[in-house]
Amino acid sequence: MPTADERIVLYNVPWSHFEVQLALRGDAPSPRMAYLDGALELMSPSKGHERTKSYIGRLIEVFAMERDVMLSPYGSWTLKGPPELAGVEPDECYIVGPDQDKERPDLAIEVIWTSGSIDKLEIYRRLQVGEVWSWKDGVLSVHVLSAGRYQKVDRSALFPELDLALLCTFLDRRSATEPMRDFRNALRARP
């Protein structure tokens, strides 16, 4: 039976307090934090949340290996910008392509396991992350930044050949090696 993420949102929090919370937490993986215009979200992800984000990440990495795409994972890299009053720690994020010295990832992935979050898409927009994938109820939605706004699109701009619906069919496997192997075999069966 799925469990819910533990989440609390505090309001009227100064940016300096967000910075202090990040410093106090240090390198611990939890709680993950997001900040937008004085709202501070503290979230401890559930087992199911972590499993889903890990499987999605591993399948992206399988796709990149099979299609020879340069890709570097950065996990829950803390992205923030005080002038934008926005900060977030994605579930997974990646830099794609040969330029690996970017200040922001090209792709951020958010698993929506429990509702009630602050507007993370707005945070990513302010931080200029080019593409955001949101997984909810077995479906991956893709948002591509264009002219300062996110457009919901059918396919990834970073991975236009990637069939996201196919990828999602592998997320229910019992262990991480099963979906990786099965997805690799499905990719090899498609020219």
Tell me the average confidence (pLDDT) per consecutive run of 10 residues in the chain, 191 residues long.
80 96 91 96 92 96 97 95 91 96 96 83 97 95 97 97 96 93 95 69
Give the C-alpha distances (Å, rounded to integers) separating 74 from 28, 100, 105: 15, 11, 8
Q: How many angstroms separate the CA atoms of 102 and 118, rounded?
A: 26
Phi, psi dihedrals of residue 140, rounded to the nearest 5°: -100, 125
Phi, psi dihedrals of residue 36, rounded to the nearest 5°: -150, 115
pLDDT of residue 61: 98
pLDDT of residue 1: 45
Which pTM does this prediction carry?
0.93
pLDDT of residue 82: 79
Q: How many angstroms separate the CA atoms of 56 and 50, rounded?
A: 10
DSSP H or E run through 33? strand 32-36
